[in-house]
Structure 1
Amino acid sequence: MSDLRIGAAALVLTALGLAGCSPADGDDQPKARAEAPAQPQAHPQPQAAGPVDTGKLDNPKPLPGDVSLPLPCGGELVLRSVYVLAQGSLDDREISLGYPFSEGEAGYKQSFISGYRRDFINGQFSLADLAPQWRKAVAPLLPNVEAGSPLKPMMYFIGKYEVTARQYAQVMAQAQALADGDVQPACQADTSQAGRLPKVKLSRFEAERFAAVYSAWLMKHHRDLLPVSGRGSSAEDGGVGFVRLPTEVEWEFAARGGSAVSRQELEGRLFPRKAEGAEGDGPLADWAVFNQVAGGTGQAARLMPIGTRLPNPLGLFDVIGNAAEMVQESFQLVHAGRRQGAYGGFVVKGGNYLEGEGTLFTGMRREYPLFAADGTEQRNETTGFRVAIGALSAPRSRYQELFDQWQKEGRLASLTDDIDAAQDPTKRLDSIIAATPDPRQQAELGLVNEELKRSVSLIARQREEAAGNLIQSAALVAETINNYNIRLTNLSNTQAQAKASGDQTSARMYGAAIANGRAALDGAVAIYIDNLASGARYTDAVIQAQFQQVKEELNRKPVLGNSLMARATLFVRHVGEYRQNRRADPATILKELLASAAPRSP
């Protein structure tokens, strides 16, 4: 038997070994409550909710960018890609989770449960790691990364819908056959309403057993369709994707809208809900199944089939309401803006169909015990799950890439172009430590060097964010310069008209306004050049990486964003020239800024 088949069988046998616990009804009525919604924008344009096509049981609302994996008996499990612009596998993006409750605000007393905290996100797969059909579907949704940029989209994949009762039964029916190597069981057609509902009333262990059995079935029958971290390397490299529950960070980043929304929208209480023809958010009831009876009594509220509402900006359905959803890791409280160090029960996200609208927000979370009071596995009638595709974080094919990135971490040469990498003081300290004969002194110096590198890494992250802010603010200064110039042109024309009509008093008044305007214009150009000097203090790699991030943000602002994109592009070019020449001519800068504002022919 091959290592692959042994591994697959072991996965399933381990899963089956946990089966057999008697079911128990868990109480999923949360004790603590939170509140309200907010914010806008969308990625695939949501389509109006309508009746579910029973011919599309597994994907009732197809969208551009959908990818899928086969299910037993001809079904499919549909997923959406979530990307993060990063320099590679070791890089990540800092994001906000939860909600920053203020004192006196409803929900403030549960800030230690769902309060504001910082975390980090990255994907495990690049475009090259995907099977051809996935690559073709996903590529149009990814940003165009210019040559020379150190960033690339790193992706993970998460279920478009909650796993349905029908899908769960199809997969779990394969468990015994996979473990024993027997023929697959006969398929049972299930097009019932109940089969299209999210699978609920299952334990966290059963959700993980589903992932184990499905992974084993895919690796046995459809391994070539799974993403592979480091595709093209040997089959035993360890980077083959597998099915698992999403982590809480993966779930919440995707539920908030991921890279399909702006940074401000990403931190809103609820994802943007753009309704055609409306200025603000559409009613949450168009996007979520929840209890709409005042007071949240649960009357007239019920679980609904997948895909009956509109998708969030990433194309995910039912992330708020309907079935609440389990995630992979154990529950941790919130302490001082981070996750606290003790681990509890399992985490449930998104709220459920019995919740009232005032309690629903993207960062909400609940904690439930793994076991009921009688010792059986905890099962809740309102809790289900969706899946994600993961892989090893450090498959052998990525070792060199990870090591190279790790070596650069904490190096002073990453902060400024003035330090040659070979002359980096942290590297010189490495050499001194290696040459030190006293083991105690060597250990002490090693601790000092590690602390130095940690501090440099922190400074580097802060500088990267500051560089992005600098590019955006410089683009705004350039926009201001153009506005000043338009005003000066209008004043000059009006002054000429006053002179032509013999109105000397008005001409003098306009002359004073023109003098003030020119002073303001010259001051703005000086500020712009100061920004160039500041930008030149960053390495070109930092500027290019942050420029890519800024472009992502500006692309979501169709009117002002187009103009600011041209300004930001010119600013980055000017920074490169300033770094080389160590000077900038104000007249030349002004001429180029005004030329960049000229309307371009289509």
Structure 2
Amino acid sequence: MFNTVFNQKCRVLTALFMFSAAAQAEQWDEKFYNPKADKEDVIMPMPCHGSMVFRIVKTGTKSPLDDMSVVLGSDSGTEAFAEHSTPNYISGGFSGQNNEKEQERYFLMAKYEVSQLQYQAVMNEQCPSPNLKGRQPAVDVSWFDAVNFSHKYNEWLMKNGRDKLPKEDGVSGFIRLPSNTEWEYAARGGIAVSASEFRENTFPVPNGLKAYAWFSGSQSANGRLQLGGLLEPNPLGLFDMLGNASEMMLDPFKLNKLDRYHGQNGGVTVRGGSYLTSESEISSALRIEKPFYAADGKADKAKDMGFRVVIAAPVLTSGDRIKQIENEWKNLGNDNLKNDSHGSGSNIVGKLEKITNDIENENVKKELKSLQDALRSANQSRDEQRDHAIRSVLELGAFLCTNIADLEANYQQKVAAQNYIAQACPAGSEPIGLCEPTAIEESKTVLAEAKGVRDFVLTYYADTIVSTSTAYNIATVQTQVDKKQLTGKANLTEYVDLYWKHLQQYYKDGKVNREQWLADCKQW
């Protein structure tokens, strides 16, 4: 009896002490959790008056069942069994529901690796004192520690910062480790980079890799763990995605089997390399396996292994959301959506479904149902390939329009030069300098070449408009225009809009207005 009462009093005193310590903890200075602040940062509160900074990672998707095809891995890696190029898909759990133009789905990823200070604020009973060394990544922690950190941080946020968490369909998001796909998609730069840049060994590093990643060697980390956020970020504003501390994933390690992952789930997936990784090994594709448990039976840890977290959302958030997903799923692979080149769906899947329902023989019914599912799957694959082709055409059209503008400017310069020569060399002028016959002929040749190149590209531009309108229905293209506006780079998105304007005009009247298109591209 005495021991029970004594233990209860001890727990009460401990709780009061922890509450008092948290109340007296000093507010963290921004330099301890966000040394490279940016207006697009999303800041979440933490215990002990701390903070954690996140970045929005857009995925170029709009509806709950919409996802985007991405290729992970690399064809240049030495360990192809782990790093070979592998198709995958990405989507975000949140959508911008307050603004019609911000419907793109996204998730949030921590801007920096979880620091020692942040780890201690969540895991320790007593609040840590903020200091610069606390900005080093929390390393020598196990996968179980990282998951437990996420769990405890979630519990604290649900009680103390639920209003700060993003919501999807009225349901609050939650903290967890990133998936392998989420991490590599963000590490490569997501939609902030071009398709070719996404497939490079690293995100663009114009100042050299050592300006963006800590790796082994005296010219970089020199064998020491570094403070988070000292170097430059990747195109999404994420720091230390490569190097410094390697990062643990939520999902277990899998081998590569050419165009897919192998069926066995293994140990901990670790990404990004660390301050002990050589410069030549650092890449966005680097993926290794660590055991969940070390040889001594304890949870495995490493002095160069840490983690960062994401904010994600549940999928089935409400009854209405489930109905929405059901309706979207039923439409997958159907051919009654009037999306072929002439806008009329053949509805073969629907007709096959009706035939299946009318048949009484169960064996035949099962075979027809299997055929129906296979047809839907094939249709879905066809539609995804079609949509990808349309987005490529939109990119090409935008690029050609910018090229036309440059070529027209070059042509007008040559026209001005030709006019100057004509004024400087009237009939009967002495044939010297600019007035030499060879110089005059050369200027005419240059002018003709400039016009020829401009007209060739302008004709190619017009050809893409005609061929696109012939191949695809306007409603189908409209859907991909909306997606391209979400995923395109700012300087190219404007020209996508112009190309779409010209395409709409051609859909409407069938007229090839080269001169007007030239003038628009020049002035845009």
Q: Which TM-score tier does this pair reach, normalised by the shorter chain?
A: 0.7 to 0.9
- TM, length-normalised to structure 1: 0.72
Q: Note the residue ranges of structure 2 that are not aligned, 5 or more in a row.
A: 1-27, 430-436
The equivalent position to 2:301 in structure 1, one of 353, 376, 379, is: 379
Q: For residue 46 of structure 2, what is the amino acid of its counterpart?
A: L
Q: For residue 317 of structure 1, what is the amino acid of its counterpart?
A: F
Deviation at 1:480, TM superposition (A): 6.0
1:167 aligns with 2:118: yes
Q: CA RMSD in A?
A: 3.4
The equivalent position to 1:461 in structure 2, one of 384, 388, 396, is: 384
Rounded to whole Å, the distance in 2 between the matches of 1:367 and 1:81 is 28
Asked if 1 retains the 8 angstrom alpha-carbon contact of 2:32 and 2:131, the reply is no
The equivalent position to 2:182 in structure 1, one of 242, 245, 250, is: 250
Asked if 1 retains the 8 angstrom alpha-carbon contact of 2:418 and 2:444, the reply is no
- SS at the partner of 1:87? coil
The equivalent position to 2:215 in structure 1, one of 277, 290, 304, is: 290
The equivalent position to 2:325 in structure 1, one of 376, 396, 402, is: 402
Task: Look up the match of 1:46.
Answer: none
Deviation at 1:59, TM superposition (A): 2.1
Rounded to whole Å, the distance in 2 between the matches of 1:166 and 1:442 is 62
Task: Look up the match of 1:88.
Answer: 63
Task: Look up the match of 1:230.
Answer: 169
The equivalent position to 1:547 in structure 2, one of 465, 469, 481, is: 481
1:303 aligns with 2:225: yes
Deviation at 1:112, TM superposition (A): 1.1
- TM, length-normalised to structure 2: 0.82
Label 1:414 to 1:357 Cα distance change in 2 as closer, same or farther (>3 A).
farther
1:425 aligns with 2:351: no
Task: Look up the match of 2:4.
Answer: none
Task: Look up the match of 1:158.
Answer: 109
- SS at the partner of 1:96? strand
- SS at the partner of 2:71? strand
The structure whose Rg is larger is 2
Deviation at 1:253, TM superposition (A): 1.2
Deviations 1:382-410 (A, max 9, x none): 11111111121222242233223222211
Deviations 1:35-68 (A, max 9, x none): xxxxxxxxxxxxxxxxxx9663222322221112
Asked if 2 retains the 8 angstrom alpha-carbon contact of 1:325 and 1:348, the reply is yes
Task: Look up the match of 1:572.
Answer: 500
Deviation at 1:328, TM superposition (A): 0.5
Rounded to whole Å, the distance in 1 between the matches of 2:340 and 2:44 is 46
Alignment of 1:200-219 (within 5 A): 200-219=139-158
Deviation at 1:202, TM superposition (A): 1.6
| More divergent stretch after superposition (368-377 vs 547-556) | 547-556
Asked if 2 retains the 8 angstrom alpha-carbon contact of 1:161 and 1:318, the reply is yes
- SS at the partner of 2:226? coil
Alignment of 1:180-195 (within 5 A): 187-192=126-131, 194-195=133-134
Q: For residue 62 of structure 1, what is the amino acid of its counterpart?
A: A
Q: For residue 292 of structure 1, what is the amino acid of its counterpart?
A: G
Deviations 1:532-561 (A, max 9, x none): 3332232334323433454567635x5xx4
Label 1:508 to 1:195 Cα distance change in 2 as closer, same or farther (>3 A).
closer
Asked if 2 retains the 8 angstrom alpha-carbon contact of 1:492 and 1:514, the reply is no
Deviation at 1:508, TM superposition (A): 9.9
Rounded to whole Å, the distance in 2 between the matches of 1:478 and 1:316 is 33
Rounded to whole Å, the distance in 1 between the matches of 2:226 and 2:456 is 61
The equivalent position to 1:114 in structure 2, one of 77, 83, 87, is: 83
Label 1:531 to 1:375 Cα distance change in 2 as closer, same or farther (>3 A).
same
Q: For residue 73 of structure 1, what is the amino acid of its counterpart?
A: C
Rounded to whole Å, the distance in 1 between the matches of 2:133 and 2:321 is 44
Label 1:385 to 1:522 Cα distance change in 2 as closer, same or farther (>3 A).
closer
Q: For residue 164 of structure 1, what is the amino acid of its counterpart?
A: S
Rounded to whole Å, the distance in 2 between the matches of 1:570 and 1:94 is 26
Rounded to whole Å, the distance in 2 between the matches of 1:539 and 1:394 is 33
Q: For residue 329 of structure 2, what is the amino acid of its counterpart?
A: W
Larger relative contact order (CA 8 Å, sep ≥ 6): 1
Deviation at 1:74, TM superposition (A): 0.9
1:471 aligns with 2:394: yes
Deviations 1:417-447 (A, max 9, x none): 63446x5222222222222222222211111
Rounded to whole Å, the distance in 2 between the matches of 1:192 and 1:479 is 50
How many percent identity over aligned positions? 29
Alignment of 1:48-67 (within 5 A): 56-67=31-42
| More divergent stretch after superposition (57-66 vs 493-502) | 493-502
Rounded to whole Å, the distance in 2 between the matches of 1:316 and 1:523 is 42
Label 1:491 to 1:438 Cα distance change in 2 as closer, same or farther (>3 A).
same
Q: For residue 239 of structure 2, what is the amino acid of its counterpart?
A: F
Rounded to whole Å, the distance in 1 between the matches of 2:48 and 2:413 is 72
Task: Look up the match of 1:392.
Answer: 314
Rounded to whole Å, the distance in 1 between the matches of 2:449 and 2:44 is 66
Rounded to whole Å, the distance in 2 between the matches of 1:283 and 1:519 is 40
Label 1:63 to 1:569 Cα distance change in 2 as closer, same or farther (>3 A).
closer
Q: For residue 32 of structure 2, what is the amino acid of its counterpart?
A: L
Q: Note the residue ranges of structure 1 that are not aligned, 5 or more in a row.
A: 1-52, 102-106, 130-138, 146-150, 174-184, 232-238, 274-280
Label 1:527 to 1:306 Cα distance change in 2 as closer, same or farther (>3 A).
closer
- SS at the partner of 1:443? helix
The equivalent position to 1:269 in structure 2, one of 177, 194, 201, is: 201
Asked if 2 retains the 8 angstrom alpha-carbon contact of 1:414 and 1:460, the reply is no
Asked if 2 retains the 8 angstrom alpha-carbon contact of 1:353 and 1:382, the reply is yes
Asked if 1 retains the 8 angstrom alpha-carbon contact of 2:191 and 2:488, the reply is no
Deviation at 1:490, TM superposition (A): 4.9
Q: Higher helix share goes to which structure?
A: 2
Rounded to whole Å, the distance in 2 between the matches of 1:479 and 1:197 is 45
- SS at the partner of 1:86? coil
1:534 aligns with 2:475: no
Asked if 1 retains the 8 angstrom alpha-carbon contact of 2:97 and 2:103, the reply is no
Label 1:580 to 1:346 Cα distance change in 2 as closer, same or farther (>3 A).
same
Task: Look up the match of 1:76.
Answer: 51
1:447 aligns with 2:370: yes
